[in-house]
Chain A
């Protein structure tokens, strides 16, 4: 994999400010360059504006000041999103849910049947195409949600604390799978989390944010090469990175207090 510094930029946020109702400053002077191929975690205490940053990148909100620029402009299929909840349509089957991004572009199911099946295979749910979401466990629903985000092979996938509501065993398993998936489709990921451990295990860049006003205070690199196995979790390297990230997060919490 290309070292971080040699990757071409994908998205640049410059001097971003977002103020709600003219008084609550959610983000102030946020500068961030996301490179093509990054697995970037946004780590910070609640209220630090990490979710706001995601909403700005996804275009659901517009910055009060500053601008967000995509290298080569943004196309409609450049983005995939995974929310904290699986956010599936309960009335649609698993395959129909994964079809959604294509469907909203007007692509008929038959034209993308193979892509849908491939995405479901990647998350290990190819046998559940005709199941309804209620028949699946929490972890499986989240996999469908990930398959839906990946099925169009977007350049960037935004994930907003996707595994926060899952139990630890399921979360570890999904962490491993997520890394494999990212390697398989070669996209860029921005992953919002409040877990130091998760951010160190998954990402190669950790951006630590502080609250009031929301801003970036540290950037760490986790230079352990991918693929990372379960052994990484118990390595001394992991412990060192975790300590560095914890200290940065501690500083962020102190700044807000």
Chain B
């Protein structure tokens, strides 16, 4: 027996496994570097296109001008972004409260569902842009009117997803709860609510984006008359003044808000489901 035999043997990795490991490593890096590279190249192409062809800034401002606008107009853009954020977040919170409450009411009482569900659908399918001017007339505060618009758009996915989710509990578990004499409240809290959670979180991801869209639409319609609403009003106003640098700056900030909202709702969803739900599991 030699000493070499006692030394720890190198891990036996066959060709296929080695290739697989290498590919996984490359994918991990590429997942971040590729989109970043695409972004850098696109901005570069945009810059070159504008400078080489000498495109006037009131048609397409270059990335440098837009960046300057973000910096120079920050004092105007930042409060506008806060307003839009407040509008979106309030609308989303109200959509969650209203959507979940109504979904619970629907699943607790068939009569309530039969009576009101068609109207929830009507509210959803009516284009919000058509309701916004009315809301502006009936509500004194422009902020409240805009909030109502954003809420109408955001609340339906929460309502419909949560309603389906609350009804999706395993039938045998329902029976088991009956056999063990569960109360209505226990059934809702221990069975229906956890069953509905993945559905609700799916609805939340959609509603987050829709709340922002609703806020933007509301600002376009309601913010027009100098009510000093948020980013979308700023964007519209900049377009009237042919200040395209500011317009693009506002647009980029709105997009960034959408990305942040999506990231936050996705993170919430991941954290709440990672331990047990199929959607959050890693495949082996």
- Identify the A interface with B (CB < 8 A): 58-60, 76, 79, 81, 83, 85, 87, 89-92, 100-101, 103-105, 132-134
Contact = CB atoms under 8 A, between A and B. Distances in A.
Contacts of B3: none
A134 B179 contact: no
Interface of chain B, main secondary structure: helix
B166 to A, nearest CB: 14
B268 to A, nearest CB: 16
Given A87-B173, A91-B194, A60 B276 contact: no
Given A81-B176, A104-B190, 11 more contacts: A59-B178, A81-B179, A83-B176, A85-B172, A92-B194, A101-B180, A103-B190, A104-B182, A105-B180, A132-B275, A134-B281
A90 B194 CA distance: 9
A89 B189 CA distance: 13
21 contacts: A58-B175, A58-B179, A59-B178, A60-B178, A76-B181, A81-B175, A81-B179, A85-B172, A87-B170, A87-B173, A87-B176, A89-B173, A90-B277, A91-B275, A92-B194, A100-B176, A101-B180, A104-B182, A105-B180, A105-B181, A134-B281
B262 interface: no
Interface pairs A-B: 5 shortest CB-CB: A87-B172, A104-B180, A91-B194, A83-B172, A104-B182
B186 interface: yes
A79 B179 contact: yes
A95 B108 CA distance: 29
Interface in B242-284: 275-278, 281
A92 B177 CA distance: 15
Contact of A89 (B178, B186, B194, B281): B194
A60 B170 CA distance: 15
B162 to A, nearest CB: 16
Nearest to A84: B172
